Amino acid sequence: MTDAPLPYPPLELANRVGSLAEAADPMETYDELGRLAYAEIVARLPSGWTFPGKRILDFGCGGGRTLRHFAKEAAEAEVWGCDIDEPSIAWLGEHLCPPFHVFLNGPEPPLDQPSASFDLIWGISVFTHLATTWSAWLVELHRLLRPDGLLYLTFMGRGTSEWIAGEAWDESRVGMNVLRFGQSWDMGGPMVMHSPWWIQEHWGRAFDIVAISPDGFGKDPAFSHGFVLMRKKDQAIDAEMLERLAVEDPREARALAHNVSQLQTETEALRGDRDYLSSMLAESRVQTQNAEAQLADLSSKLSVLEHSKSWNLTRPLRSAAHRIRVVKRGAERSNS
Ligand SMILES: C[S@@+](CC[C@H](N)C(=O)[O-])C[C@H]1O[C@@H](n2cnc3c(N)ncnc32)[C@H](O)[C@@H]1O
């Protein structure tokens, strides 16, 4: 491998994993965010953990914003990336492989990789958007990890509450709360908020929590994500087991009730938007119909006029008047 700088993806792909619209230098910001993610991941690895000979996966790598910073490690380890976005994976395959390996995956498991084959998997801003498939994906990542394998995930919690949920952070009413359900990836996808206690309770059934923080991941403290480093528990798990409510913890019910009220607020706003757009549409339909009726009326008047006797009788007069106007204009031009 040479030390030549790695190429950057087209702005469209870079922008897809986080808006760069406000950035003075979009590619510098893209690079900085990836560098920060790299530094965060590496800083959390247990002391003595080294890369040589390891297999590593960036789950949901997008166009390689984080992955690209592991080029040095990729000379000694097998570093993989996967994503559901075909253009991102195609670009990575063409421009950053080698040193990396990438593959496209579907929106639901499995990944086409052998069980117990990865030492470290990370997912940066991925479980922050998995509203319905999170448990199946955790089971899949658990399958892919070697015994004692590490999983590093970021989540949205305290640092993103004002920004995403428009409310002050209160962890007693947030477990796994889903907002903007069904939002397309072009618009950022669904938004999932987590509290550390909920992660500990549910994700902790499949993994030992090595470290967890409600915020601190990312550039801007106003938008900072939480992160969790987990170690695979050597036991059989399934999605149902991860989802089961901890009924003895009153925060579960409180968080669910709060999520219902958040979704009601969203639904109300969406209905308001829909009703407004419907009324605008109805109004523009009426205007179109009126314009069409006026046009039809004028056309029929014109047609009557063109077939009338007086119109035909006066045709020579109109033609003479036209010729006089032409002669006059010619004379005026030659006098001037
Ligand atoms: C906010 S972006 C972050 C990208 C990348 N991790 C980074 O830090 O630059 C989230 C990424 O997760 C990907 N993604 C969403 N659901 C996925 C899934 N089920 N499997 C793999 N990738 C997924 C999206 O396509 C998108 O590229």
- Tell me which residue of 169, 194, 189, 225 sits closest to 36, measured CA to CA: 225
Residue 218 beta carbon below 6 angstroms from any ligand 1 atom: no
Residue 154 beta carbon below 6 angstroms from any ligand 1 atom: no
pLDDT in tens, 93-140: 999 999 999 999 999 999 999 999 999 999 999 999 999 999 999 999
Residues 170 and 268 in one domain: no
Q: What is the mean pLDDT of residues 66-90?
A: 96
Range of the domain at 276: 247-336
Here the tokens at position 55 are 């297999």
In a domain, residue 307? The reply is yes
Residues 142 and 74 in one domain: yes
Q: In the prediction, which pLDDT does 221 show?
A: 67
CA-nearest residue for atom 8, ligand 1, is 124
Residue 147 beta carbon below 6 angstroms from any ligand 1 atom: no
Q: What are phi and psi of 80, to 5 degrees?
A: -110, 155
CA-nearest residue for atom 26, ligand 1, is 62
Is beta strand 145-155 parallel, antiparallel or unpaired with respect to 225-232? antiparallel
Residues 74 and 123 in one domain: yes
Nearest atom of ligand 1 to the alpha carbon of 85: 25
Residues 130 and 253 in one domain: no
In a domain, residue 273? The reply is yes
Residues 69 and 211 in one domain: yes
Residue 36 beta carbon below 6 angstroms from any ligand 1 atom: no
In a domain, residue 324? The reply is yes
Distance 25 CA to ligand 1 centre (A): 23
Q: Which of 178, 211, 246 is the last residue of a domain?
A: 246
Residues 71 and 143 in one domain: yes
Lowest-pLDDT choice from 18-27, 166-175, 265-274? 18-27
Q: Is 202 helix (H, G, I), strand (E, B) or coil?
A: helix
Residue 129 beta carbon below 6 angstroms from any ligand 1 atom: yes
| Whether the predicted pLDDT of 2 surpasses 60 | no
Q: Which of 213, 246, 279 is the last residue of a domain?
A: 246
The residue count of the chain comes to 336
CATH of the domain at 26: 3.40.50.150
Residue 13 beta carbon below 6 angstroms from any ligand 1 atom: no
Residues 268 and 156 in one domain: no
Q: In the prediction, which pLDDT does 236 show?
A: 93
Distance 64 CA to ligand 1 centre (A): 10
Residue 102 beta carbon below 6 angstroms from any ligand 1 atom: no
Q: Maximum Cα–Cα distance for the chain, whole Å? A: 105
In a domain, residue 236? The reply is yes
Number of domains in the chain: 2
In a domain, residue 108? The reply is yes
CA gap 286, 275 in Å, rounded:
17
Given a contact cutoff of 8 angstroms between Cβ atoms, the answer to whether 38 and 70 are in contact is yes
In a domain, residue 5? The reply is no
CA-nearest residue for atom 12, ligand 1, is 60
| Of 210 and 186, more confident | 210
| Whether the predicted pLDDT of 145 surpasses 90 | yes
Preceding peptide of 98 cis, ω within 30°: yes
Banded model confidence at residue 1, pLDDT cuts 50, 70, 90: very low
Q: Is 98 helix (H, G, I), strand (E, B) or coil?
A: coil
Residue 242 beta carbon below 6 angstroms from any ligand 1 atom: no
Nearest atom of ligand 1 to the alpha carbon of 130: 16
CA-nearest residue for atom 9, ligand 1, is 65
- Tell me which residue of 78, 234, 206 sits closest to 148, measured CA to CA: 234
Q: Which of 231, 246, 261 is the last residue of a domain?
A: 246
Model's pTM, two decimal places?
0.83
Residue 9 beta carbon below 6 angstroms from any ligand 1 atom: no
In a domain, residue 129? The reply is yes
Residues 238 and 256 in one domain: no
CA gap 195, 176 in Å, rounded:
7
Residues 333 and 209 in one domain: no
Nearest atom of ligand 1 to the alpha carbon of 137: 19
Residues 226 and 327 in one domain: no
Q: In the prediction, which pLDDT does 86 show?
A: 95
Nearest atom of ligand 1 to the alpha carbon of 37: 8
Residue 67 beta carbon below 6 angstroms from any ligand 1 atom: no
The separation between CA 198 and the C-alpha centre of its own chain, rounded to angstroms, equals 24
| Four-residue CA torsion sign, 52, 58, 61, 65 | negative
Residue 84 beta carbon below 6 angstroms from any ligand 1 atom: yes
Q: In the prediction, which pLDDT does 4 show?
A: 65
Nearest atom of ligand 1 to the alpha carbon of 65: 9
In a domain, residue 304? The reply is yes
Q: Is 63 helix (H, G, I), strand (E, B) or coil?
A: coil
Residues 194 and 309 in one domain: no
Residues 39 and 149 in one domain: yes
Q: What is the mean pLDDT of residues 44-66?
A: 96
Given a contact cutoff of 8 angstroms between Cβ atoms, the answer to whether 38 and 136 are in contact is no
